[in-house]
Amino acid sequence: MEMMTRMPLLGDKFPEMTVRTTQGVKNLPGDYAGKWFILFSHPGDFTPVCTTEFVAFNKRFDEFRNEGAELLGLSVDQLQSHLKWTEWIENNANEKIKFPIIADEMGLVAQQLGMIHPGKGTNTVRAVFIVDPNGVMRTILYFPQEIGRSVNEIMRAFKALKYADEHKVACPENFPNNEWLGQGTVIIPPAATEAQIEERKAQVERGEIECLDWWLCYKKQK
């Protein structure tokens, strides 16, 4: 297993590793080659906030998959603990967990990915890694143990990343619901040459885009 010697950064390749999960052994990122995947850690099984998160992730599982992303959970608990916890969730929340959960009982994966912060104890913090089809880490989020994550925001960030890649644009605050520029707007890459400035002006005249200045141009998403 390749060991990272520093905290992972945006743009890093996800480290190659073989892990045990509730759905069998998986090789990361190889088993997800060509797909987006979202790895999220939780401090511990049978904890209240984590349980609410897992129910929420599971309720959106089909939407994530339909959008092209697989989900993958993790904590430093044993495999049997994961299996008992998912059984409890199914019996008490009527949610059969559809995604695999990594059993990282030795904490090796968590250490590689910076999920254990000494100031927050020996459990994993609430980390989220959105990894693209090339195995590159595109979004990294860390939450403290006492604050639950918003699955809606993770879905929004994933969809924005995918849209930006496909259409070669940038996404404004709270895309696709930016209050200032308007519903469904995307940002055109800023002009980098005098010729591009003139092209932006021509695009405005043709009604293809709108600009507040040559460096801030936008249009409605397709």
Q: What is the DSSP string of 23-70?
A: TEEEEETGGGTTSEEEEEE-S-TT-HHHHHHHHHHHHTHHHHHHTTEE
The tens digit of pLDDT for each residue in 165-218 reads 999 999 999 999 999 999 999 999 988 999 999 999 999 999 999 999 989 999
Tokens of 126: 């609430």
Residue with tokens 């195995």: 135
**Using one digit for the tens of pLDDT, what is the confidence trace for 5-18?**
467 899 999 999 99
> How far apart, in whole angstroms, are the C-alpha atoms of residue 125 and residue 146?
9
134-170: pLDDT as tens digits: 999 999 999 888 889 999 999 999 999 999 999 999 9
- Reference 135, options 18, 12, 9, 7; nearest CA is 12
Instruction: Write down the CATH superfamily of domain 17-166.
Output: Glutaredoxin (3.40.30.10)
pLDDT for residue 1: 43
Instruction: Compute the mean pLDDT over every residue in the chain, rounded to the nearest whole number.
Output: 91
Residue owning tokens 């049978």: 46
The whole-number average pLDDT for the span 41-55 is 91
157: CB partners within 8 A, 6+ apart: 130, 139
Distance spanning both ends of the chain, measured CA to CA: 42
Spell out the domain ranges in the chain. 17-166, 177-220
> Is 222's pLDDT higher than 80?
no
CA atoms of 172 and 164, how far apart (whole Å)? 10
217 is catalytic: no
Give the global pTM. Answer: 0.90
> Which pLDDT does position 6 carry in this prediction?
65
% the chain with pLDDT above 70? 94
Give the Cβ contact number of residue 95 at 10 Å: 18
d(CA 127, CA 73): 10
Closest CA to 182 of 195, 191, 192, 173: 173
CA dihedral 199→201→207→211, nearest 10 degrees, is 120
Q: Is pLDDT of 61 > 60?
A: yes
The CATH superfamily label for domain 177-220 reads Antioxidant, Horf6; Chain A, domain2 (3.30.1020.10)
Give per-residue pLDDT as tens, 85-128.
999 999 999 999 999 999 987 778 888 887 766 665 566 778 99
Distance CA 190, CA 217 (A): 7
